[in-house]
A and B are shown apart, each in its own frame.
Chain A
Amino acid sequence: MSDASGETRDLTMSRAMVSAIAHEMRENDEVFYMGEDVADYGGIFDSTEGLREEFGYDRVMDVPISETAYLGAAVGAAQEGMRPIAELMFVDFFGVAMDQIYNQMAKNTYMSGGNVSVPMVLTAAVGGTYNDAAQHSQTLYGTFAHVPGLKVVVPSTAYEAKGLMHNAIRDDDPVLYMFHKRLMGIGWLPAPDGPKTPVPQTDYTIPFGSADVKRDGDDVTIVTLGLHVHRALEAAADLADDGIDAEVVDLRSLVPLDTDTIVESVEKTGNLVVVDEDYRSYGVTGEIVASVADEALAALDSVERVALPDVPIPYSRPMENEVVPDVDDIAAAVRRTQ
């Protein structure tokens, strides 16, 4: 974590995210936020807590339940040079506005031959672990990383949340900023230890495509993101008791993907475990493994993938616990590489 220095304070991930948005809104009148329940409620997941009080309804807009309209409007305003941040309350709702995301937001820069830019941020809450069933629990990292033209970032701690948000708002391209509900520090959805971190008071950016080695180790590389950074760290601590020294790489962004850091780690450890809360097939785990195989096949002694088996996320707790990777699943996968 060498991206910033100076005075810090401990923040929850949501507070860190909001502090970056507020900073950018103060600095630049062209930045505004819109979404459902973002003004008076402060965001269902506290993603905009306090912003309306400071900036008013003009710049923190509650919008109709019309995702096609307001996500598409963000695209249009961005193309006019403004810097909208539009929140999709649950990433699972993306389908309602799929065309605006997949065909407009993602492709207009390319189709215009680079003559149009879409400097917007689409924020979305992701993740399960609270028994909310198949339409409110997905991460869908792979879905958005799959279409060319979207930058996709996933913070794992307050420090990442702030630095990535500063970078996202300042970026001239569309950025999908996917925050895990379980990490936000919401009262009704307790976070694990870890996401609440010291955060510099001043603004700082975390460049996209810079994965962070959250734990050094020599025996195996665990590559992951979001909530599962914390589960991987916990698994690594357990494994250390058995003499297995795991390195944990936090991707921080999926597009661009920091293949260099992953390959460097695998060349040191020889073993790769990729952990993802998204569906297994055609997803993040396959992409990471393929990327490493492309660049460092000879270094690979073993590969394990830990991801959601290809089922919609079930409601009932025994079944959800079964399919969402937990600490034991990660540790077991690591042991299979040794």
Chain B
Amino acid sequence: MYENMVTARHYEERLQEEYLEGKQPAFDISAGPIPGELHLAAGQEAAAAGVCQHLRDDDAVTAPHRPHHVAIAKGVDLQRMTAEIFGRQTGLGKGKGGHMHLFDPEVHFACSGIIAEGCPPAAGAGLAAKKRNEDSVAVAYLGEGAIDQGAFLESLNFAAVFDLPVVFVIEDNDWAISMPKERVTDVENGANRADGFEMPGVRVDADDAVEIYEVAGEAIGRARDRNGPTVLEVQVHRRMGHFMGDPQTYRPEADQDAALARDSIERLEADLRDYGVDDETMESIREESHERVEAAIAWAKEQPKPDPADAYEDMFVNPPSGVTDSEPDFDVAGGDD
């Protein structure tokens, strides 16, 4: 767990540096080696590590638009994920998906940039496991802002009526972009959404990786034992803006300070010390994870950029005859980088 969390934190710190390259002094979202939006999860690592620690490669996970910490905890190929974020040909999606749309079928990981829309596919993975009489489970991650979305509520009902092995993990960071939870949701405890579907709903109030690990273990165990779905809500803290470049003018400074003051990684370090893990051991874990991150970034940056014509590939895995690609019948002059 600790290794996953420090890897995710360092990974995102490095991504942030790389992202800002070429975007300074005037921030231009379309400039630099990592263009487009970038949503970082600093402060939310415990939600990923505490849950995914219980998962196997054949367990499915769907992540939302803020996916890196979950992907790392689930064991997504770090090098190919990084290459994807840099838009390279050897990336997980050959440069077609980018940071919000990472797919690693080897470890059954997928994500979507549309709020709550990972919930139905997670229920579907649970359905497949049930139909095949396998003991794999599925986990859908969503933010607290997504608990009002139809896709989430419909998925709860679907998972409940068919007793599917699914755990819905709500990462409550208090903010849906600029909208504070209390102004857009009438429940303080999002896990209570489970009540209406007669399934267990559990909330972990502190962003405490150990407690999340324990509670998640029960929920995932229940799913694996065919005892149905669970909603698990965990409190996390958004240390940064919603996306890189978010000025956060809507956010009280005290809230930001509180988020920075409550660091689940430091908390876990204190717990580890209590368990007798010495600082040198933690330091060596950190160093190793940093090296892994640096290696992934270095590897990714060396990878070739896609050929412009690659844009026409992969529309179908079984292209209709006569429509093997959709390249237009005129010359396209674009494609310069």
Contact = CB atoms under 8 A, between A and B. Distances in A.
Nearest to B307: A318
A156 to B, nearest CB: 19
Interface stretch (A146-154, A161-169, A183-191, A198-206): A183-191
B336 to A, nearest CB: 6
Contacts of B97: 133-134, 315
Nearest to A133: B98
B27 A332 contact: no
Nearest to B326: A310
B113 A316 contact: no
Nearest to B176: A65
Interface stretch (B67-75, B141-149, B200-208): B141-149
Interface in B191-250: 245, 249-250
A65 B179 CA distance: 10
Contact of B245 (A69, A96, A188): A188
B289 to A, nearest CB: 26
B281 to A, nearest CB: 39
B167 to A, nearest CB: 21
B87 A96 contact: no
A314 B335 CA distance: 12
A130 B30 contact: yes
Contact of A41 (B35, B113, B250, B333): B250
Contacts of B115: 65, 93, 96
A317 B148 contact: no
Contacts of B91: 316
B283 interface: no
Contact of A324 (B95, B151, B334): B334
B311 A322 contact: yes
Contacts of B326: 309-311
A135 B95 contact: no
Interface residues of B, number: 61
A315 B37 CA distance: 11
A37 interface: yes
A304 interface: yes
Nearest to B101: A133
Contacts of A64: 145, 148, 179, 184-185
Contacts of B337: 317-318, 321
Given A62-B184, A96-B150, A317-B87, A322 B332 contact: yes
Chain B, interface SS category:
loop
Question: Counting chain B CB atoms within 10 Å of each CB, which of A96, A188, A312, A324 scores highest?
Answer: A188
B284 interface: no
Interface string A57-95: 000001111111100000000000000000000001101
Given A96-B117, A321-B335, 9 more contacts: A40-B249, A41-B178, A44-B177, A315-B98, A315-B101, A316-B98, A319-B310, A326-B334, A329-B332
Interface of B: 26-30, 35-37, 84, 87-88, 91, 93, 95-98, 100-101, 112-117, 145-146, 148-151, 176-179, 183-185, 245, 249-250, 305-312, 315, 326-328, 330-337
28 contacts: A64-B179, A64-B185, A65-B115, A66-B150, A96-B114, A130-B29, A131-B36, A131-B87, A133-B96, A135-B101, A136-B100, A136-B113, A187-B27, A188-B27, A189-B28, A314-B310, A315-B36, A315-B96, A316-B305, A317-B87, A318-B305, A319-B96, A321-B335, A329-B332, A329-B333, A332-B331, A333-B330, A336-B330
Interface of A: 36-37, 40-41, 44, 62-69, 92-93, 95-96, 129-136, 187-190, 280, 304, 306, 309-312, 314-326, 328-329, 331-333, 336
Give 10 closest A-B pairs by Cβ, nearest first. Answer: A316-B87, A315-B98, A316-B95, A322-B308, A328-B333, A131-B35, A130-B30, A41-B178, A40-B250, A319-B311
